[in-house]
Amino acid sequence: SKEGGGARYKDPTRPLNARIDDLLGRMTLAEKIGQMSQIEREKATPDVINKYFIGSVLSGGGSVPAANAPPEAWVKMVNDMQGGALSTRLGIPMLYGIDAVHGHGSVYKATIFPHNIGLGCTRDPELVKRIGAAVALEVRATGIPYIFAPCVAVCRDPRWGRCYESFSEHPELVQNMTSIISGFQGEIPAGGRKGVPFVASGGRRNVAACAKHYVGDGGTAGGINANDTVATFHELLSLHMPPYYNAVIRGVATVMVSYSSFNGVKMHANHFLVTDFLKKRLRFRGFVISDYQGLDFITTPEHADYLLSIKLGILAGIDMVMIPFNYTEFIDDLTLLVQNGTIPMSRIDDAVRRILRVKFTMGLFENPYADTSLAGELGKQEHRDLAREAVRKSLVLLKNGKPGDKPLLPLPKKAYGGSILVAGSHADDLGSQCGGWTITWQGFTGNNNLTAGTTILDGIKRAIEPAGTDVVYAGNPDADFVQRNKARFDYAIVVVGEPPYAETFGDNSNLTIPAPGPDVIRNVCGSIRCVVVIVSGRQLVVEPYLDAIDALVAAWLPGTEGQGVADVLFGDYGFTGKLSRTWFRSVEQLPMNVGDAHYDPLFPFGFGLETQPSKF
């Protein structure tokens, strides 16, 4: 019968392809196009999902059921939507997706891990896999089974606003960090088929992942977001493609297409790279999803010719469209294009087959509803301890003592004179130490209880006040304050850096430390032995201040567990981090990456001084 009923596709003992064939054979064009449609949470009522057979829903950056929503509220929201999907004729479950750039970033009191640029500096794929597994549990705690992560961009220019989402400028380091996919989805069992979508569906403690943004997102001209990556095919294959080999082998369930272009051809309209290369040459068997309004941006201005955009995107090989708002227009236009023969049914069937393969593989048909049994996983101490370990291992020590001086780090917990100075805006700013994609798309500044965490200053106080050291904090001390007080302090810790940003808002062509950071460095380090800690999404201009600085630490964007910084500053652990990116002298040198013929860095790729844990 054409109805769902006791149909073969509902029988989990049936072979995967038999279930797909049975279900596909029953589907109308409207049901097929519904599966290819992903809409935004705020549009996704159970009625809309039911009426249009919607196959997927997403939370865009910051799109939450309510401010500070607890896991239970997320689970209820997802399950209400799922009820709309399961009440359709064939009862195909919908797939809810969300970004998890550095942990379950949209969710109140989730553990926020260091951004990928810092994880690359750990050189620890096992650690990163453990992080993936922890993030999967925190995402499942809210009833969500699919994340738009990891970003496997190979960022070749730090002027790009998304460079912190990239593990490294070096493709091999990014390839190694694809271990996070096995954390998110679960490890393919020994002897299990590689290169096909895999999500450990048994325990429901894993999520479907998404390698993004295919391909060359990190190689755009001048690091301009969503711009043109001009390169030979060989350069594309040797610099930007390698992480996708690893992602496919690890069974990544989905791949997201990049807004960027390759030699002037929009990736969202690139049949050769999406279909001929990814699907045929690499034999990727999961589904390809567009980026948010990615079809609209095929044309300039965006959405200028939506019929054309849909034709080009779907024929290029995109299987699911992150619409996300104008879903009736999308559905009507795609229906028209199929009915008038512009898009063959075979292309639609390929897309739906891939989507169904992921949904069957991850057990979504057997477990369509979430429950609150994992609510305790959200932000639990074990995950915060893991994040703290990642912070420790991500820190890179770039300088430790002026020429002729003895090393300044590790610092003594007991200050000889009894007091130390902590200065700089970023010492006491949870939002800034987390960076973009935290609670909101662009992130936030300050500590205003938007989530739970430990600032770098809190961590310093907890580390040394018990030893009897008095910590004096001054966010922006002027020269007068320093002159009047310098004799009080054994040393100073200066924490400065960038404000939070995401995507185009982070595109930056000067990469200077934002004011008043340079003044704080000059005022403090000119009079007191100082450790400068830079909190940023990438390398910044530091050469002008280097001589005045006694010790220099790159902390990147550590996330909620700021105590990890103090752990290493005061010697509970040694510095082990190595640069995942070349630290330039000036922006005029950019782009400049390890392996370039002309390579004149301030600190080279792989650089990082080490210290031993201190006894006392």
Sheet with 470-474: strands ordered across = 396-400, 551-556, 530-535, 489-497, 419-423, 470-474
Task: Specify the residue, 148 or 167, whose C-beta has the smaller distance to ligand BV6.
Answer: 148
Instruction: At 195, give phi and psi (nearest 5°).
Output: 80, 5
Task: Specify the residue, 191 or 264, whose C-beta has the smaller distance to ligand BV6.
Answer: 264
Q: Which two tokens stand for residue 329?
A: 């227009």
| Distance, CA of 401 to CA of 409 (rounded, Å) | 8
Instruction: At 473, give phi and psi (nearest 5°).
Output: -110, 135
Task: Specify the residue, 261 or 432, whose C-beta has the smaller distance to ligand BV6.
Answer: 261
Q: Residue 578 CB, nearest distance to ligand BV6 (Å)?
A: 27
Interface with ligand BV6, residue 197, by CB under 6 A: no
Task: Specify the residue, 38 or 394, whose C-beta has the smaller distance to ligand BV6.
Answer: 38
Catalytic, out of 31, 157, 291, 428 = 291
| Distance, CA of 145 to CA of 204 (rounded, Å) | 8
Interface with ligand BV6, residue 437, by CB under 6 A: no
Candidates 232-240, 289-297, 331-339, 459-467; binding stretch for ligand BV6 (CB under 6 A): 289-297
Reference 444, options 427, 429, 466; nearest CA is 429
Q: Residue 291 CB, nearest distance to ligand BV6 (Å)?
A: 5
Q: Residue 234 CB, nearest distance to ligand BV6 (Å)?
A: 26
Instruction: At 522, give phi and psi (nearest 5°).
Output: -65, -45
Secondary structure class of 214 (helix, strand, coil): strand
Interface with ligand BV6, residue 292, by CB under 6 A: yes
If phi > 0 it is left, if psi is from -120 to 50 it is alpha, else beta; for residue 236 that is alpha
User: Which of the 8 DSSP states describes residue 201?
Assistant: -
Question: What kind and span of H or E run contains 231?
Answer: none
Q: Which two tokens stand for residue 51?
A: 């009426």
Task: Specify the residue, 228 or 429, whose C-beta has the smaller distance to ligand BV6.
Answer: 228
Pick the binder of ligand BV6 from 297, 360, 489, 545 (CB under 6 A).
297
From the centroid of its chain, how far is CA 222?
Answer: 21
Task: Specify the residue, 226 or 239, whose C-beta has the smaller distance to ligand BV6.
Answer: 226
Interface with ligand BV6, residue 291, by CB under 6 A: yes
Q: Residue 304 CB, nearest distance to ligand BV6 (Å)?
A: 13
Q: Residue 97 CB, nearest distance to ligand BV6 (Å)?
A: 8
- Contacts of ligand BV6 in 86-105 (CB under 6 A): 99
Burial class (CB in 10 A: 0-12, 13-18, 19+), 580: buried
Catalytic, out of 503, 507, 550, 561 = 503
Candidates 292-300, 353-361, 486-494, 542-550; binding stretch for ligand BV6 (CB under 6 A): 292-300
Task: Specify the residue, 157 or 503, whose C-beta has the smaller distance to ligand BV6.
Answer: 503
Interface with ligand BV6, residue 148, by CB under 6 A: yes
Tokens 């509220």 belong to: 73
Q: How far apart are the first and last CA of the chain?
A: 76
Q: Residue 108 CB, nearest distance to ligand BV6 (Å)?
A: 18
Interface with ligand BV6, residue 293, by CB under 6 A: yes
| Distance, CA of 88 to CA of 146 (rounded, Å) | 21
Task: Specify the residue, 445 or 504, whose C-beta has the smaller distance to ligand BV6.
Answer: 504
Using CA atoms of 549, 552, 555, 556 in order, give the dihedral in degrees to the nearest 10: 70
Candidates 44-52, 173-181, 190-198, 291-299; binding stretch for ligand BV6 (CB under 6 A): 291-299
| Distance, CA of 532 to CA of 523 (rounded, Å) | 12
DSSP secondary structure letters along 487-530: GGEEEEEEEEEPPP--GGGG--SS-BPPTTHHHHHHHHHTTS-E
Pick the binder of ligand BV6 from 49, 64, 215, 226 (CB under 6 A).
226
Candidates 11-19, 126-134, 287-295, 310-318; binding stretch for ligand BV6 (CB under 6 A): 287-295
Interface with ligand BV6, residue 441, by CB under 6 A: yes
Q: Residue 437 CB, nearest distance to ligand BV6 (Å)?
A: 9
| Distance, CA of 393 to CA of 373 (rounded, Å) | 32
Sheet with 37-40: strands ordered across = 146-147, 95-98, 56-59, 37-40, 321-322
Task: Specify the residue, 247 or 396, whose C-beta has the smaller distance to ligand BV6.
Answer: 247
Annotation marks residue 503 as catalytic: yes
Interface with ligand BV6, residue 214, by CB under 6 A: no
Interface with ligand BV6, residue 158, by CB under 6 A: no
Tokens 């949904």 belong to: 359
- Contacts of ligand BV6 in 10-69 (CB under 6 A): 60-61
Residues binding ligand BV6: number (CB under 6 A): 13
Pick the binder of ligand BV6 from 124, 498, 503, 567 (CB under 6 A).
503
Pick the binder of ligand BV6 from 259, 284, 287, 365 (CB under 6 A).
259
Secondary structure class of 575 (helix, strand, coil): coil
Interface with ligand BV6, residue 164, by CB under 6 A: no
- Contacts of ligand BV6 in 361-390 (CB under 6 A): none
Burial class (CB in 10 A: 0-12, 13-18, 19+), 446: exposed
Interface with ligand BV6, residue 425, by CB under 6 A: no
Tokens 């054979």 belong to: 25
Report how far apart, in Å, the C-alpha atoms of 286 and of each of 36, 247, 389 are: 13, 11, 33
Candidates 290-298, 336-344, 369-377, 473-481; binding stretch for ligand BV6 (CB under 6 A): 290-298
Q: Residue 502 CB, nearest distance to ligand BV6 (Å)?
A: 8
Contact 283, 357 (CB under 8 A): no
Task: Specify the residue, 212 or 392, whose C-beta has the smaller distance to ligand BV6.
Answer: 212
Q: Residue 505 CB, nearest distance to ligand BV6 (Å)?
A: 9
Q: How many CB atoms lie within 10 A of CB 595?
A: 12
Name the β-bridge partners of 320. 289
| Distance, CA of 538 to CA of 514 (rounded, Å) | 13
Question: What kind and span of H or E run contains 220?
Answer: none
* Enzyme catalytic residues: 291, 503
Report the interface residues with ligand BV6, using CB under 6 A. 60-61, 99, 148, 212, 226, 259, 291-293, 297, 441, 503
